[in-house]
Structure formats: C-alpha cells, structure tokens
Amino acid sequence: MVKKKTCIFISGNGSNLNNLIKNSRDYVFPISVSLVISDNPSAGGIKFARKNSIPFILINTKTRSYENKILQNLRKYKISIICLAGFMKILSKKFLSNFRYKVLNIHPSLLPKFKGLNTYYRIIKNKEKKTGCTVHLVNEKLDGGKIIVQKSFFISENDDEKKLKFKTQRLEYAAYPEAIIKLLRYTNS
C-alpha cells in the first residue's frame, strides 16, 4: 500500500500525534507521519517526533511569513494530508485556498456545539448531558468544516473538567484514525 505522506500540526502534549504515529505503523493504515510542525518550542509532543525519528519544524508564528515557511516544508516533504492535533493557531483563508492538501482537525466537543477554547469548562457549566469529539475538514471558519467522524458519551454527575478531558481524549484516539480512513476512502486518493 502506498501511504499518503502526512504532516501533523501540534502546539501541546501531542497525545493525538503519538496515537497517529502508532496507527501509521499498521501496514494497512493509509498514512505515514512524515513531518511534525509545532508553533510552540516547548510542546511536549515534539518528543514523539524525536523518538520516532520524524522530522519536525518549529514555526515562529510571530513572523509574517510563517505560513509560507509551512508551505515550503509541506512541499519539501511531499505532504498530501494535514492533521491538526491541538494546534492553537488558525490557518488563514489564503493558506487554505492555496492548498491542494486535505486538512483535518480534531475538536473536543460535538460540533457545531462548543466551538473554540475552554470547551470542557463550558460543557460542564452548560450542564450538558452528552459530549464527545469531532474530526472535521478545516475551512476558514473556526471549527466549521464538514464533519467526518463524531463520537459521543453521556456525562456522569461527578464528571469534572479533568474527567471529561480523559473520556473525550480516549474517544479521540479512535475517532482520528477512523476519520482518516473514511476521508481517504471517500475521496479515493
């Protein structure tokens, strides 16, 4: 199987990155993690790139041309899929429109509910009965593109933010690989 070269964008712990690296070792999983991009030099996830000898690039998002630097590297490494996994920057409309790559994101809520930051806090405050995670295509609207996979669970009375995060992320580790397989099957490329 010819695997699609994929770049994972991170800003933090990188547990989804680690999960995708593990999945990609499976012979029939359709992507290889070929590049990691981080906008945060102290992102914990960088260790997973190092450990697995995957090239990683640090991007300084304070410079004006950082999206060009990203594009150059995506071309250099022949990337055809991008997976955002806890990447805290919004990619511009121009970046996305220049783009022949497929871009996915994972968000810790049942979109379109609870777009944006502080998701777990708002879910608890709103006394939601159910929550989960969503993998969606990225467009220029925050957490707004077509939904590919969504997984949910019922919230218990004693779930706090920490427990919600734990339960949500456990679902994320199943949802992201599933979404990648689904996307590539649909688009047949």
Residues noted as catalytic: 107
Interface positions, 63-102, toward ligand GRF (CB under 6 A):
85-86
Q: Which of 15, 180, 178 is nearest to 86 (CA)?
A: 15
User: Using the rule CB under 6 A, which residue among 39, 67, 159, 172 binds ligand GRF?
Assistant: 172
CB atoms within 10 A of CB 77: 16
Distance (Å, whole) CA 91 – CA 109: 20
In one-letter notation, the amino acid at residue 143 is: D
**Binding window for ligand GRF (CB under 6 A); candidates: 14-22, 46-54, 147-155, 179-187:** 14-22
Nearer to ligand GRF, 8 or 96 (CB): 8
Q: Which residues pair with 32 in a beta bridge?
A: 5
Please tell me whether residue 45 binds ligand GRF under the rule CB under 6 A: yes
180 forms part of the interface with ligand GRF (CB under 6 A): no
Structure tokens at 160: 């706090």
Q: Does 13 bind ligand GRF (CB under 6 A)?
A: yes
Among 86, 132, 83, 85, smallest CA distance to 111 is for 132
Asked if 15 touches ligand GRF (CB under 6 A), the answer is yes
Angle made by CA atoms 62, 68, 74, in degrees to the nearest 5: 120
Rounded CA gap, 173 and 19, in Å?
6
For the window 128-147, what string marks contact with ligand GRF as x by the rule CB under 6 A?
-----x--------------
Stretch that binds ligand GRF, among 34-42, 53-61, 74-82, 103-111 (CB under 6 A): 103-111
Among 4, 6, 16, 49, binds ligand GRF (CB under 6 A): 16
Give the pair of three-digit tokens for residue 89. Answer: 């920057």
Interface residues with ligand GRF (CB under 6 A) are 10, 12-16, 45, 85-86, 106-108, 133, 169, 172
